[in-house]
């Protein structure tokens, strides 16, 4: 009951802020800078870090298709990914997402800032329906062309909570009709395997509909992490020897999607028994959880939670032996860097961010349950700080079996991956 009440409150707070922001823009919207704006394009993607790593699959192609256009990219502030994305676009802009949602004056000023730059084309690459802020910005900057994705069909059929249900109604009635080009949901992917179209496939659909081109290569990449100097700096800083340590991330951005920490203890002990040092990673807010795990672990570990920038964490993955984690950004970074990984996933949106990469080195562990593809309604069946049934159904034995297979494979070869990148296994 509390979660539903909280959902209602969040919805009305954001709607109130949104209404005032709209009123301010009605009164004082800045004129759109149309001088030369045919030469400027804005791409919006306000999804999480792991989704942005997957986004490189198509972002890397835009400059080749629009060589004479100055491309701006808008992402969330504070992720430290600006330098990576400057490899693909001309300018990276950032937004304080939560502040935009609740502070109408910040939102008013931010949209006016974009209007003063002026864009003839806006491409909203957010693939989910409920991501409302990117959509509000897309239709608010005064562009001649507004291209966006309809969203996942599941979200319309099974809204996660009250807030999402009300957001969907607002988006469907007020936002989507303002797009000049609406890219439809991928309906056919709920096929024989019962998996959703992946994030990568959603991005590809948006890219191909926007450009009219199909690319041969949609592998994710993270350029700029190959230098010996960087290797030396990162490994010396954390006291690690390249290719002799495993990166372990026991955290996730939602408790219901997080595999139980006590099961990760067995994984750490196995990796230590195989001769790997263990680097525990996470955000600063996850430091205490990682420290508690470290204290309970029978194997020596290094707690690096909150100690690494995005570039340092990426370099750490680049020079490790393998990564084991929940379905988090760490796994997606590993795939982009062609590093061995094992991801543990639940099924609330099964297929969305799993079962892709290089099949010989990127493994996934999951178990189908009755709540699969319920848009994480199963999270309401357990206390807030506990794993959902579909996540808890993944046993330690299942993970160890896959992990042993991966380690054995890595013992046999230094040359990997042997298979080509696949958007869907």
The reply to whether 57 and 83 lie within a common domain is yes
Selection from 63-67, 169-173, 222-226 with the highest mean pLDDT: 63-67
> Considering the entire predicted model, what is its pTM?
0.93
The CATH number that applies at residue 259 is 3.40.50.2000
The reply to whether 173 and 54 lie within a common domain is yes
The reply to whether 162 and 237 lie within a common domain is no
**φ, ψ of residue 363 in degrees (nearest 5):** -105, 155
What sign results for the dihedral spanned by CA atoms 107, 113, 116, 121? negative
| Beta sheet of 145-149, edge-to-edge order | 91-95, 70-76, 40-44, 121-124, 145-149, 181-183
For the stretch 78-93, pLDDT in tens is 888 999 999 999 999 9
Number of compact structural domains in the chain: 2
The reply to whether 127 and 186 lie within a common domain is yes
The reply to whether 124 and 241 lie within a common domain is no
The reply to whether 94 and 186 lie within a common domain is yes
Residue 9 — pLDDT band, cuts 50, 70, 90?
low
DSSP codes, 44-62: E----HHHHHHHHHHHHHH
* Residue 223 in domain: no
The reply to whether 243 and 182 lie within a common domain is no
Mean pLDDT score of the chain, rounded to an integer? Answer: 90
Mean pLDDT of all residues in 248-261 = 93
Residue 164 — pLDDT band, cuts 50, 70, 90?
confident
How many residues are present in the chain? 425
The reply to whether 49 and 121 lie within a common domain is yes
Give CA separation, 17 vs 25, 29, 250, in Å. Answer: 12, 16, 36
Selection from 46-55, 159-168, 232-241 with the highest mean pLDDT: 46-55
Rounded to whole angstroms, the Cα distance separating 228 from 425 reads 33
* Residue 217 in domain: no
* Residue 37 in domain: yes
- The pLDDT score that the predictor gives to residue 147 is 96
Q: What percent of the chain has pLDDT over 70?
A: 93
* Residue 222 in domain: no
* Residue 57 in domain: yes
* Residue 198 in domain: yes
The reply to whether 264 and 320 lie within a common domain is yes
Rounded to whole angstroms, the Cα distance separating 146 from 138 reads 7
The reply to whether 233 and 193 lie within a common domain is no
- The pLDDT score that the predictor gives to residue 373 is 86
Least confident of 4-13, 137-146, 225-234: 4-13
The reply to whether 329 and 414 lie within a common domain is yes
* Residue 65 in domain: yes
Asked whether residue 136 carries a pLDDT value surpassing 90, the answer given is yes
For the stretch 356-413, pLDDT in tens is 999 999 999 999 998 888 888 898 889 888 999 999 999 999 999 999 999 999 999 8
Rounded to whole angstroms, the Cα distance separating 75 from 137 reads 12
* Residue 12 in domain: no
Residue 343 — pLDDT band, cuts 50, 70, 90?
very high
Asked whether residue 247 carries a pLDDT value surpassing 90, the answer given is yes
Range of the domain at 390: 228-422
The reply to whether 129 and 177 lie within a common domain is yes
Residue 128 — pLDDT band, cuts 50, 70, 90?
confident
If DSSP codes are grouped into helix, strand and coil, which group holds residue 176?
helix
Mean pLDDT of all residues in 109-124 = 98
């Amino acid at each position: 009951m509390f979660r539903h009440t909280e959902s209602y409150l969040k919805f009305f707070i954001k709607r109130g802020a949104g209404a005032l922001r709209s009123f301010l823009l009605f009164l004082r919207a800045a004129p759109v800078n149309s001088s030369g704006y045919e030469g400027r394009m804005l791409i919006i993607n306000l999804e999480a870090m792991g989704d942005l790593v997957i986004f490189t699959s198509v972002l890397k192609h835009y400059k080749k298709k629009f060589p004479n256009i100055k491309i701006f990219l808008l992402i969330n502030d504070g992720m430290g990914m600006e330098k990576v994305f400057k490899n693909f676009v001309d300018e990276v802009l950032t937004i304080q997402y939560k502040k935009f949602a609740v502070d109408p004056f910040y939102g008013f000023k931010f949209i006016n800032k974009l209007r003063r730059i002026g864009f003839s084309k806006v491409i909203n690459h957010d693939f989910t329906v409920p991501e409302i802020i990117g959509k509000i910005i897309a239709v608010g900057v005064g562009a001649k062309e507004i291209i966006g994705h309809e969203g996942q069909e599941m979200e319309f059929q099974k809204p996660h909570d009250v807030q999402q249900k009300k957001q969907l109604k607002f988006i469907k009635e007020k936002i989507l009709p303002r797009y000049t080009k609406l890219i439809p949901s991928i309906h056919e992917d709920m096929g024989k395997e019962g998996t959703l179209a992946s994030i990568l496939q959603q991005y590809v659909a948006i890219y191909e509909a926007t450009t009219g081109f199909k690319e041969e290569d949609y592998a994710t990449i993270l350029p700029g992490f190959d230098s010996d100097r960087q290797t030396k700096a990162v490994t010396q800083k954390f006291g690690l020897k390249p290719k002799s340590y495993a990166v372990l991330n026991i955290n996730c951005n939602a408790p219901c999607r997080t595999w139980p920490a006590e099961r990760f203890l067995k994984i750490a002990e196995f990796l230590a028994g195989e001769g790997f040092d263990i680097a525990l990673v996470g955000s600063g807010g996850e430091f205490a959880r990682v420290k508690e795990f470290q204290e309970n672990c029978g194997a020596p570990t290094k707690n690096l939670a909150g100690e690494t920038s995005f570039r340092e964490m990426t370099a750490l993955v680049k020079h490790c032996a393998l990564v084991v984690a929940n379905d988090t950004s760490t796994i997606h970074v590993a795939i982009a860097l062609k590093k061995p990984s094992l991801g543990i996933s639940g099924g609330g949106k099964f297929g969305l961010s799993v079962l892709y990469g290089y099949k010989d080195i990127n493994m996934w562990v999951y178990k189908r349950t009755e709540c699969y593809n319920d848009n994480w309604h199963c999270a309401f069946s357990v206390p807030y700080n506990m794993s959902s049934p579909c996540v808890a159904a993944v046993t330690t034995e299942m993970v160890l079996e896959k992990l042993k297979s991966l380690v054995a494979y890595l013992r046999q070869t230094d040359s990997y991956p042997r298979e080509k990148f696949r958007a869907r296994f």
